[in-house]
Chains A and B, each alone.
Chain A
Amino acid sequence: GIQVEQSPPDLILQEGANSTLRCNFSDSVNNLQWFHQNPWGQLINLFYIPSGTKQNGRLSATTVATERYSLLYISSSQTTDSGVYFCAVTWGQGGKLIFGQGTELSVKP
């Protein structure tokens, strides 16, 4: 099956700093999404981005499908950005999302 790897596994930032999270995948994908899991477990949709670049406020994402990776950029980080960021892909038929192991981000005031 497909492998989804995220890096780094943990990241500690000072408020106001910028960061880049990476997601590598081992095969062609139909769909790629980035999520933020809040402390209550809720998965917040950040980007649906099988290819190209998108921006939403301080967050942006780029997926280079031909090179099998996606990047999530967080600028001017805030303490509320803390939590776990997941990359997930659908691959083949069936539409099931396969998740990476996540990046746990901690933003200090």
Chain B
Amino acid sequence: GAVVSQHPSRVICKSGTSVKIECRSLDFQATTMFWYRQFPKQSLMLMATSNEGSKATYEQGVEKDKFLINHASLTLSTLTVTSAHPEDSSFYICSASRMTVNTEAFFGQGTRLTVV
């Protein structure tokens, strides 16, 4: 299957700082990537759709100024959590599909963010 790599896998940051998470498609080009968030014992909730060369599309209730998404190339999307607070502590995970968006999706390893 396709390989999607996410970095870092775990990060601890101080309240008020910003954290950048990278999502790379290693063996294919992805014009669209997706970012999800998962709280403990809950399902994955879509945060935003990352579009190469254009603005991201955010789901209702997701603050675009807090969660900055940049999809500058066909193999890299980044999610920056700005001015992080303890309530932003969560598991963030990205996905991409090899061909069109309705084909099989592959996920990165996820990033566990803890804000102290």
Contact = CB atoms under 8 A, between A and B. Distances in A.
- On whether the two chains bind one another, the answer is yes
A94 B101 contact: yes
Main secondary structure on B side of the interface with A: strand
Interface residues of A, number: 22
Interface string A15-52: 00000000000000011010100001111010010000
Interface size class of B (residues with CB under 8 A): 20 to 34
B77 interface: no
B34 to A, nearest CB: 6
14 contacts: A31-B104, A41-B38, A41-B91, A42-B109, A45-B107, A48-B103, A86-B43, A94-B101, A95-B32, A95-B102, A96-B34, A97-B105, A98-B46, A101-B42
Interface of A: 30-31, 33, 35, 40-43, 45, 48, 86, 88, 90, 94-102
Interface of B: 1, 32, 34, 38, 42-46, 49, 57, 91, 93, 95, 97, 100-107, 109-110, 112
